[in-house]
Amino acid sequence: MSERDAASSYLATRREMLVSLAGDIWAHPQVGFEETYAAGRHAAALEAEGFRLRRAVAGLKTAFVAEWGTGAPVIGILGEYDALPGLSQEVSATRHPVVASAPGHACGHNLLGTAALGAALAAKHAMETGGIPGTVRYFGCPAEETLMGKVFMAREGVFDGLGAVLTWHPMHVNTLWAASSAALNSFKLSFHGRSAHAAGAPESGRSALDAIMLTDVGVNYLREHVIPDARIHCVVTYGGEAPNIVPAYAQSWYYVRAPKRTQVEAIYERVLNVARGAALMTETTLETELVTACYDFLPNGAIQQMLLRNMKRVGAPVFSEGDVSFARELQATLPAGAVDDALQSLGRTRDEVGDPLCGAILDEVGTLRKGTVQPVSTDVGDVSYIAPTAQLTACCLPLGVPLHSWQAVASCGSRIGFTSMLFVARVLALTVLDLLGDPAVLSEARREHDLATGGRPYHSPIPAALKAPGQS
């Protein structure tokens, strides 16, 4: 039996274990940096199979690294397991939370981490069976949804020394994530003024809320003078106590996104200048807090092509009649035109993609194709600036169902999600084995990476003193 056959056979025998694990994590959702249940289950499963564990890496209680093997090359697999707040949902085509206002796996990270874990276990089994040298490393990464986990891990050198990195994400289609993503700064602006009676002595007050509102006006004018691909988002987190009190304190929270890290930094400084001007106009003081920052994603073509070959060899996930029926029920809850809008963004016909569930392996699609920039951000970007990184997507959602929705929670807790998760585990495991046995591809991947980064070492976008929530 070849090593590839050994990995595939191993996954076939562990199918029920992996489905049970993903379902259990789906049933115990926890938000970023609080994923004690999922991280504990993943770590225990890997340790039971002989992986060496480093827990609480980078001072993050739900981050860990599990390693098997020795020496080079070292192939990394990224796992995630955080849920999203307020999106609890049963596996049902009717909106019905399991627990009102509780979290839910609306981005499929119960599947993401478990497929990565299955791949690591299968690769280890095949390496052990065939005497394959090298090291496989599983990274338990918390808090992707807040774009923090991997950024803080990267700053502390957790991803150093890797020859290649593999990951994936639940989506509507089976394809490569060949697009880049947006770099980002997340920051809060706090203004401090002076309270007063808003009617009796308004002249004595200095309104922090006025500073917030003037900043917003200034940023709205700034939008005309930044690159078209930039995005600036804002919410007011605190605006005051009551209308008859001049607010002495107010705070807003901003995201600045752009295709490249340098562009984000330039726009960020301009937003801060607007806020400084607002503070001057209102005679308030400004306090700036950087929450997190991340890089754009650098897809590595050499590794991606290896992923695509294995996707085609394995074949697309096969869904049952029950899966198709449930998918159509979920689609029926969407706004009119949602499916057509999804097809337009993919740049493919209904027959090419499959409706309601993708039953094909697509070489490339619309917004995920090479040379495009996704407007969303991911902390995988920071890893991609450290080591050659590639990722794929798999059909875990009916066509048109958006991520971060209750329908996505339902789908990712159903057989639809589990079927694609098992497909991905096999693809990732086979790609690990191919990379371990093909030093030429690893060399080409490194050359491509050095060209994309200009040969410059990774520099963390967050300062050394910044701590994540709960970080020791």
Please give the share of the chain, as a percent, with pLDDT higher than 70: 100
CA 124 to chain centre: 25
What does the pLDDT read at residue 200?
Answer: 97
What CATH number has the domain bearing residue 53? 3.40.630.10
Average pLDDT over residues 415-422: 98
Q: What does the pLDDT look like over 141-195, one tens digit per residue?
A: 999 999 999 999 999 999 999 999 999 999 999 999 999 999 999 999 999 999 9
Residue 1 in this model has a pLDDT that exceeds 80? no
Q: Does one domain contain both 119 and 224?
A: no
Average pLDDT of every residue of the chain: 97
Question: What is the total residue count of the chain?
Answer: 472
DSSP state of 59: G
Q: Establish if 361 belongs to a structural domain.
A: yes
Residue 54 in this model has a pLDDT that exceeds 80? yes
Band (pLDDT 50/70/90 cuts) for residue 472 is confident
Residue 64 in this model has a pLDDT that exceeds 80? yes
Q: Establish if 250 belongs to a structural domain.
A: yes
What CATH number has the domain bearing residue 287? 3.30.70.360
Residue 451 in this model has a pLDDT that exceeds 80? yes
Q: Establish if 41 belongs to a structural domain.
A: yes
Q: Does one domain contain both 267 and 354?
A: no
Average pLDDT over residues 308-313: 98
Query: Cβ(310)–Cβ(441) under 8 Å?
Result: no
Question: Which residue type is seen at 443?
Answer: S
Q: Does one domain contain both 161 and 203?
A: no
Residue that terminates a domain, selected from 226, 260, 294 = 294
Domain range for 235 is: 183-294
Give how many domains the chain has, as a whole number: 2
What does the pLDDT read at residue 147?
Answer: 97
Question: Which residue type is seen at 62?
Answer: T
Residue 457 in this model has a pLDDT that exceeds 80? yes
What does the pLDDT read at residue 51?
Answer: 98
Q: Does one domain contain both 65 and 209?
A: no
Contacts 24+ apart (CB under 8 A), 160-163: 160/386, 161/74, 162/74, 162/75, 162/76, 162/137, 162/386, 162/387, 163/72, 163/73, 163/74, 163/75, 163/387, 163/388, 163/435, 163/442, 163/445, 163/446
Residue 424 in this model has a pLDDT that exceeds 90? yes
Residue 470 in this model has a pLDDT that exceeds 90? no
Q: Does one domain contain both 20 and 135?
A: yes
What does the pLDDT read at residue 161?
Answer: 97
Band (pLDDT 50/70/90 cuts) for residue 235 is very high
Residue 383 in this model has a pLDDT that exceeds 80? yes
Query: Cβ(82)–Cβ(30) under 8 Å?
Result: yes
Residue 360 in this model has a pLDDT that exceeds 90? yes
81 CB-side CA count, 13 A? 34
Q: What does the pLDDT look like over 96-140, one tens digit per residue?
A: 999 999 999 999 999 999 999 999 999 999 999 999 999 999 999
